Structure 1
Amino acid sequence: MALYALTIFLGALLLFQVQPLIGKFVLPWFGGGPAVWTTCVLFFQLLLLAGYAYAHVLRAWLPQRKQVVIHIALLAAALATLPIIPSARWKPVGGADPTWGILVLLAATVGLTYLMLSPTSPLLQAWFSLSHPGRSPYRLYALSNAGSLLALVSYPFLVEPAFTLRTQALLWSVGFALFTLLCAWVALRTWHLEPPAEGETPAAPRQQPVEQSEVGDQQSAIGNPGNEASPGIGVRLLWVALAACGSLMLLAVTNQMCEDVATVPFLWVAPLTLYLLTFILCFHSERWYPRMIFWVLLALALGAGLPLAKLARNWITLDDSTVALMGGMLGLLREGVDVPLLMQILGYSAGLLICCMVCHGELVRLKPSPRHLTSFYLLVAVGGALGGALVSLVAPRVFRAYLELHVGMWLCAALAIVAFWADTKPHRGWQQRWWVGLYPPAFVTILVILGMALKRDADDTLKGASLLTRNFYGVLRVTEYYEDDPERHYYSLQHGRISHGNQYADEEKRKQPTSYYGEKSGVGLAILGLRGDGARPQRIGVVGLGTGTIAAYGRAGDHYRFYDINPDVERIAETWFHYLGDLRARGGNCHVVLGDARLSLEAEAARGEAQGFDVLALDAFSSDAIPVHLLTREAFELYVKHCLAPGGVLAVHISNRYLDLEPVVLAQADHLGYQAVVVESKSDRDRRLDSATWVLLTRNKEFLDSEAIRQIVEKRQRASEGAGDEDQDEDGDGDAEATRLEKPKTPRRVLWTDDYSNLFQVLKR
C-alpha cells in the first residue's frame, strides 16, 4: 500500500501546487482581478473532470494491460511538454473578455500534465482495489486530499516566499518527472491483474460503505458488500448537485473576499483549503459529519442568527460589525464593506466551511461500493465543473451583480433537505410516527423564508441604480443623486462597493475635479505644480479611467492618455459622464487605451513609443481591491524608465480601507532613488470631494521646492518634532480640502516584486 499512497500523495501535491503557481504567471496578463482566478479554477475543474472520465473509460472498457500501456504512453507525452512556463505570445491584446484566452493559454501550458495528474486518485484506487480486494480504497482518497491540502497551505507560506516563479516552475517539473516514474511502477505491477468477471462478488472491503436509497421509496442496498447493484438516477443526480453546490460556494466566496482586497495567493488558497478539508474529513469518517449539529450550524451560517442579533441589541450593546458577523453570510452581505477585513474573512470562511461540510457530508452518505468508484468520482467531478462554470461563465452573463452567493446559499439548504430525505438511515424505526408528517411543510417553510431574505438582499443590491452592468472585470453601477436639486444634482460611479468618481450635472459645476482628485489632492498638486506659466502643453498619463475626473485639469493642447482594462468603464465614462468630452471641447487631446495598463505600457516601450508623461497617475483599483502587479519593482522600473519625462512625477493613489500601501510605494521610491511625498486630503461633501492619500515620486528639485510641496514637508517635520499633525487653516478660508500629514510612523519598507508580494505585511491593524 505504501507505493500507492506515495504516488497518490505526490500526484495530489503536484495537482494543487500548480494551481496558484500558474495563476501567479497569468494573473498580471489579464488585469489581476478575481475573475482571472475563478477562470483558472474552472479550467482545473474541467481538466479534473476529463481526467476522471479518462479513468472511468479505462476501467470500464479496456483490459488491464491496455490501461497500463495507454497510461504510461500519455505520461511520457506529458513529460515532453515540460517545463510549465507560459510563453509570452499568450499575452492578451486589448480589453475584450479574456475568458477563452485564459482557458486556451492554460491548456497549452499545463493541459496535458494536469490531465495526467487528474485521474491519479480514482485510477490508482481502482487498481489498489484490484490488487488488494480485501481492503477499502476510500482512505486513499482522503490521503489524496491531504496532499492537496499540503500543496495549498505550503504555497503562500513556504514556496512563494522562497523561490522565484521560474524556479517554482522548474522544481514542479522535476516533481512531475518523479511522479511519472512512480506511477509507471505502480501500473506495471498491475500488469497481470484483471477485475472480477461480471456477476462475480469481490472480497468484502474492511470498511463498508454506508447504505443509501434512491430519491423516492426505492431502496438501494449498495451498503451490503454482497450486493453490487448500480445506484439509481436520483442518487447520481444528487452526487452531481451536491458537488456542484460545494464548488459554487467555493468560487462565490472567493469572489466575495477578493473583490475588496486583492487577488493574491492567500485569498485563493484559504477558501480552497477549507473546501478540500471538508473532503478530507468527510471521506475519512462519517463521524466528522454529525448531521443535526451541522444543520444547526448551517442555519446560523446562512443568516438565522441575524434577527436574534438585532433583537439582542435591545439588552446589550452590539456594534454593526458584530451583528453582521452573528448574522452569518447574510449579515456580511448586508453590511458590506463596513465590516473589518479580518472579520469578513473569518465570517465568509466559516460559512464556506459549514456549507461544504454539509454538501460533502451528505455526498459521502450516498457514496457507492468500490465497484462503482470511478463513476462516482466522475460525477463528483461533473458537479465540481458545473459549479465552476456557473460562477465563471454563466453568472457574469446572467446576473447584473454578484448574486451567485445568494443562489449557492439557498441551494445548499435545499440540497441538504433533499439528501436527508433520500437517505433511508434516519427514517428507520420511526417512519410511521405522526410527527414525521410535519417534516415536508417545515422544510418548505424554511426554504421560503431563506429565499425571501436572500431575495430582499438581492433587491437592495439592484435597486436605485441608473445603470448596473457586469462583465468579466466586475460590477459597475451608476447612480443619480439629488435629481430635484440642481445645485447638488450629481452622478456617481461605483466599482463593486467603492466609489470610483462622480460629477455634477450642472454644466458649470461639472468642470470641477471631484472625488479623490481635488486641487489639493496629490494628483492635483502634481498637475498644477508642473504647469508653471502654462505655456507648454502637458502630457498626463492615467492608469485607471473611472469617470475620467482627472481630465478636468486638461486645457487646450494638453494630451491626456488613460489606460483601462474594462471596456464598460470607457463606455460609461463617455456616455454618463462628461469629463472626457469636455476636455475635447476645450481643445485638449484625450485617448483611452484598452487592455491591462502594464502590458500596454510595456508594448509602447517595446515599440519605442515612450510617452514622456509629465505626470503618470496610478489609480487602477477595482472596488477596494489592488492589482498587485502594478505595484511591483518591475512595474515601477517600467514607469520611470519608459513613461515619465525628465522631471516628471509619478502619483500613486493608495487610499484603501484595509491595506496600508504607503510602505510598498516608499520602498519603490528608495529602490529607484526618487524622493517621495505623502499627501492626504480631506473630504468635503458639499464639493463632492472624498478623502484621499497619494504618494508623489519624483527627482524634480524645482517641484519639491515649490511652495505647496514645501508646506507639506514642513508640516511633517513639525509633526515629527511633536508639534502635532493637525492642519492649520493658514488662509482662514476653512478649506476642508487642505493637505495634511500624520505623525510619521515607524519607518518601514515593503518591497514587492513580480515573484513575491505579501499581503499580511500591509494589513491595517
Structure 2
Amino acid sequence: MTSALLCSRLADVESPTLFTMKLLTALYATVICLSAFLLFLLEPIAARQLLPLFGGSAAVWITCLVFFQCTLLAGYWYAHLLISHTAPRAQAVIHMALLTLALLSLELRVHPSATAVTWHPILSILGLLAVSIGLPFLTLAATSPLLQAWYSRAGGSEAPPWWLFALSNAGSLFALFLYPALIETHLALHWQVIVWAIGFCVFSAFCGALALQSRRIGSAAAAVDRPSPDQDSPRSWALWILLPGCASMLLCAVTNHLGENIAAIPLLWIVPLAAYLLSFIVAFASPRAWPRFVSVRMLALTLATFAYLLYSSRMSLPPQISIPVYTLALFFACLFCHGELYRLRPSANRLTGFYLSLSGGSAAGAILVGLVAPNFFHASYDLAITVILLAAVALIVTWKSGMTPRILWTAATIAMIYIAVMQARSLGQEAIVQLRSFYGTLRVTETHLPPEAETTRTLYHGRIQHGTQLFGNGLRTQPSSYYAQSSGVGLALDLCCEGHPKRIAVVGLGTGTVAAYGKPGDDITFYEIDPLVERLARALFTYLHDSQAAVHVVLGDARLSLARESAIGKVQPLNDVIVLDAFSGDAIPIHLLTAQAIALYRRRLRPDGVLVFNISSQYLDLAPELELQAQHAGLETALVHSEADESRGLFTADWLLMSANHALLHRSEIANVAQPVSMTPGLRLWTDDYSSLLPLMKWRTRERRSSQR
C-alpha cells in the first residue's frame, strides 16, 4: 500500500477499529519521532552556517540553543491555542495551512554577511535564525504536543500518551549522535540541506494525513491515567515551569563549564545534551523502573558531588574523570527534575498546557544562562547559581514529605550558597581582572613564578592560556608562551624577510606576543574578534606598546576583514607572513581552514610569503588536514615542534609552516627540526561546504601541561 493510499484511507476514518487504531498508533509514533529527528538535525545544520560570521565561537551554539528553546515554546503555545480554542475541523485546516507555509518558506540557508551586527552577536544570531528557519522549526516543534492531543482524542487514551513524548526525545537523541558520526562526515552542507528538505516533505505529507483524520473525530473522554491529585493547584503549575527550567539551566551551565574549565574538546557539547535527553526518556517512558525514593537519594549524592567539584575548582582532575562525573551528575539532577515533572502530569485534556509550561520553563532557563548571565556577571558563576536553585527546588518538591526532608534540603541549600561564595573568592584570588562577553570568560592572573620573572601575567579564556608575559630580569620584551624563537612562528619571522622590513598579519591577538618580533620599519596587523581581548592586551600587557614595529588591531572576524582588504586590491600591500593563531579550545573556527580560506590568504600574501598555523592541541590533530590543503594549493609544509621551558615562560608548541618558498622551508634552521606529517586515511579536503572534526580527534592524547591548548 502506498503512503498516499494509506493517508487517504486514514483521513476517511471516523470511528477507528482495533486494527485501524494500531495502524494510527504506529503512524502517530512515526511522525512524532520523525519530527524530533528532523528538529535535532536542523539545529547543527543552521548553527554551522552561522559560525563563519562569528569567528567559530562556542557561544554561537549556546545562543542557538536559546533560539531553539524559545521557538519550541512558540510551537507549544501554538499547539495549546489550537487544541484549547478551536474545533477539530478548524485545527486540521489551520495546521495544514501552517505546513504549506513552512514548505513554501523552505530555504534553510543562513546567509551571513560582513554587514551583520558583530558588535551585538546575540541579536544577529537570533535574527538570522528567525528569518531563515523560524517557520519550519516552529512547525516541527508543535508536532509532539499537537499529535499527542489528537491521538488521545482518536481513542489512543486507553494507554497514556506520555510514551510518545519519550519517543520524541529518543528521536532527538538518535539525530544528536547521527549528525557528527555519519551525516557531517559524509555529506557536504548543501547535500545535508537537500536531504533534510526531503525528510521535511515526507513529514509534512504524513502530518497532513493525520490532520485530515483528526478532523473527523470528536472530543474523546479524558485519558485513563493516574495524575497527581493536586495537578491543578497553583503549586503544580509553578513546578511545571520551575522543574524544567532548573534542568535547562543545568544543561547550559554544565556545557559551558565543561568547555571553558574542564577540557576544550570539540563536540563535547554532545555529551551533556545526550544526558539531558536521556533523562526525559527514562522519566517519561519507564517511571516505575526508577522509583522516587531512589531519585531523591541520587539527587542528594549529586548535590554533594557538585559541591565537591565547585569547592575544589582550583584542583585539576583529568578530563577522563571529570567529564563522566559531571555528565552523570547532570543526568541524575535532570532525572530528578523530569521525574517529578512526570509525577505531576495532568490528564489528557490539559496535555498541551502542561507541555506549554514545560517549554516555557526550559526557554527561561536557557535565556538566563545564555543571555542574562554573560551580560550581568564578570565571571562564570552559572553552575554554582544553578546548583543553589536545584537544592531549593528539591526543598519545595519534598516539603510535604515531612520534617526530615525539610531540614535536609534547607541545609543543602545553605551549603550550596556557601560553596558558591567560596568559589567566587577562589576565582578572584590570583586574578587582577575578570571580564565576560559573548565569546567567553577572560581572566588575567598575576603571579611571581618562575622566580626569574619576578612578575608574570597570564591571559586565560576559561582555563586555556592565550598568552603570558614575564616582566623581570629583561624578559619583558622576550616572546613567551607558544612563541619561542625556536618555535615554528619564531623561525618563520626571523628568517622570512632578511634584508627588508616585514609586513605581518596575525589572526588572534591574545596578549600581542607576536609584536615582540617587530623591528623598526615592520608593520604588524592583528585581527581579533573579541573587543575585550584588545582592552586587556593594551591595559595589562606591554607587547603592543613596546614593539618597535607599527602595530594595528582590526576588530571583527579575520576572514571577513581579509576579504575586504582583498577587495580593495592594490591599495593594501601584501603580507610577508600570515600567522593563524585561532585554533585553540573547542571553538575551532573551521572557516579559517577551508580551501577557500587558504586561497584568500594567498591573495593577501606575497608569492614568497609564508602561512604559519598554531596547531598546538591536546584533542585535535590538524596537521593532516593542513597538509591536504597545502597539496591542493600546490604548497610545501614544515611541521615544527618546540619544547617547554618554564624558566622562560615557554610552552610546548606545534606550528605548521605552509609556503611556495622552497628555499625558506629548506633552510637548515627549519629543515633540521621539521617533522613529517602523519596523514589520516580517508581524510577529505575541507571546503566552505564540507568539514568534519571527528576524523581529526586524538582519541589517545599524550600527557601535557594543563595549560596546553
Please, what TM-score do these two structures have when normalized by structure 2?
A: 0.89
Q: Which residue in 2 is equivalent to 1:538? A: 502
Q: Does 1:397 align with 2:391?
A: no
Q: Which residue in 1 is equivalent to 2:575? A: 613
Q: Does 1:598 align with 2:544?
A: no
Q: Does 1:666 align with 2:627?
A: yes
Give, in whole Å, the separation in 2 of the partners of 1:250 and 1:658.
23
Give 1:458 shift. 3.2
- Retained in 2: the 8 A contact 1:278–1:356? yes
Q: Which residue in 2 is equivalent to 1:638? A: 600
Q: Which residue in 2 is equivalent to 1:241? A: 242
Q: Which residue in 1 is equivalent to 2:5? A: none
Q: Which residue in 2 is equivalent to 1:437? A: 403
Q: Which residue in 1 is equivalent to 2:215? A: 191
- Retained in 1: the 8 A contact 2:223–2:348? no
Read off the aligned partner of 2:128 and give its amino acid letter.
L
Give, in whole Å, the separation in 1 of the partners of 2:93 and 2:622.
55
Q: 1:472 is matched with which residue: 438, 463, 469?
A: 438
Q: Does 1:339 align with 2:318?
A: yes
Question: What does 1:157-306 align with in structure 2 at a 5 Å threshold?
Answer: 157-195=181-219, 202-205=221-224, 208-212=225-229, 220=230, 231-259=232-260, 264=266, 266-304=267-305
Give, in whole Å, the separation in 2 of the partners of 1:159 and 1:344.
29
Structure ID, larger Rg? 1
SS at match of 1:68: helix
Question: What does 1:745-764 align with in structure 2 at a 5 Å threshold?
Answer: 747-748=679-680, 750-751=683-684, 753=686, 754=688, 755-759=690-694, 761-764=696-699
Give 1:72 shift. 1.3
Read off the aligned partner of 1:27 and give its amino acid letter.
L
Give 1:674 shift. 2.5
Q: Which residue in 1 is equivalent to 2:142? A: 119
- Retained in 2: the 8 A contact 1:122–1:377? yes
- Retained in 2: the 8 A contact 1:95–1:567? no
Deviations 1:725-759 (A, max 9, x none): xxxxxxxxxxxxxxxxxxx6865465552422133
Q: 2:69 is matched with which residue: 45, 54, 57?
A: 45
Give 1:151 shift. 1.8
Relative to structure 2, which stretch is displaced further, 610-619 or 167-176? 610-619
Read off the aligned partner of 1:402 and give its amino acid letter.
S
Q: Which residue in 1 is equivalent to 2:428? A: 462
Q: Does 1:5 align with 2:29?
A: yes
Give 1:633 shift. 3.6
Residue 624 to residue 129, structure 1, CA distance change in 2 (3 Å): closer
Residue 274 to residue 334, structure 1, CA distance change in 2 (3 Å): same
Identical pairs, percent: 42
Q: Which residue in 2 is equivalent to 1:652? A: 613
SS at match of 2:107: coil
Deviations 1:213-267 (A, max 9, x none): xxxxxxx2x5xxxxxxxx1111111111110111111112222333366685x43
- Retained in 1: the 8 A contact 2:398–2:405? no
Q: Does 1:143 align with 2:167?
A: yes
Q: 1:409 is matched with which residue: 387, 391, 396?
A: 387
- Retained in 1: the 8 A contact 2:302–2:329? yes
- Retained in 2: the 8 A contact 1:675–1:698? yes
Q: Does 1:388 align with 2:358?
A: no
SS at match of 2:346: coil
SS at match of 1:466: strand
Residue 122 to residue 165, structure 1, CA distance change in 2 (3 Å): same
Give 1:12 shift. 1.5
- Retained in 2: the 8 A contact 1:681–1:691? yes
- Retained in 2: the 8 A contact 1:565–1:594? yes
Deviations 1:649-696 (A, max 9, x none): 111112223333333333333333322222222333332222222111
SS at match of 1:335: coil
- Retained in 2: the 8 A contact 1:543–1:563? yes
- Retained in 1: the 8 A contact 2:295–2:332? yes
Give, in whole Å, the separation in 1 of the partners of 2:226 and 2:698.
46
Q: Does 1:569 align with 2:570?
A: no
Read off the aligned partner of 2:44 and give its amino acid letter.
P
Q: Which residue in 2 is equivalent to 1:320? A: none
Q: Which residue in 2 is equivalent to 1:499? A: 465
Give, in whole Å, the separation in 1 of the partners of 2:685 and 2:379.
32
Q: Which residue in 2 is equivalent to 1:318? A: none
Give 1:115 shift. 0.9
Q: Which residue in 2 is equivalent to 1:736? A: none
Deviations 1:365-387 (A, max 9, x none): 11111111111000000011001
- Retained in 2: the 8 A contact 1:95–1:594? no
Give 1:161 shift. 1.7
SS at match of 2:242: helix
Q: Does 1:550 align with 2:529?
A: no
Deviations 1:595-628 (A, max 9, x none): 1222222333344367522111111145575333
Deviations 1:369-406 (A, max 9, x none): 11111110000000110011011111101222222112
After TM superposition, what 4+ stretches of structure 1 lie above 6 angstroms from structure 2? Answer: 483-486
Read off the aligned partner of 1:545 and give its amino acid letter.
L
Give, in whole Å, the separation in 1 of the partners of 2:451 and 2:192.
59
Residue 384 to residue 28, structure 1, CA distance change in 2 (3 Å): same
Read off the aligned partner of 2:369 and give its amino acid letter.
V
- Retained in 1: the 8 A contact 2:577–2:611? yes
Q: 2:357 is matched with which residue: 372, 375, 379?
A: 379
- Retained in 1: the 8 A contact 2:180–2:692? no
Q: Which residue in 2 is equivalent to 1:310? A: none
Question: What does 1:503-522 align with in structure 2 at a 5 Å threshold?
Answer: 503-505=469-471, 509-522=475-488
Give, in whole Å, the separation in 1 of the partners of 2:580 and 2:273.
31
Give, in whole Å, the separation in 2 of the partners of 1:764 and 1:155.
19
Number of corresponding residues = 670
SS at match of 1:519: coil
Q: 2:328 is matched with which residue: 321, 326, 350?
A: 350
Read off the aligned partner of 1:69 and give its amino acid letter.
V
Residue 116 to residue 204, structure 1, CA distance change in 2 (3 Å): closer
Give, in whole Å, the separation in 2 of the partners of 1:487 and 1:84.
54
Read off the aligned partner of 1:679 and give its amino acid letter.
V
SS at match of 1:353: helix
Alignment RMSD: 2.6
Give 1:355 shift. 1.4
Give 1:282 shift. 0.9
Give, in whole Å, the separation in 1 of the partners of 2:496 and 2:678.
31
Residue 565 to residue 693, structure 1, CA distance change in 2 (3 Å): same
Q: Which residue in 1 is equivalent to 2:543? A: 579
Q: Which residue in 2 is equivalent to 1:32? A: 56
Give, in whole Å, the separation in 2 of the partners of 1:397 and 1:263.
25
SS at match of 1:708: helix
- Retained in 2: the 8 A contact 1:468–1:475? yes
Q: 2:127 is matched with which residue: 98, 104, 108?
A: 104
Give 1:544 shift. 0.3
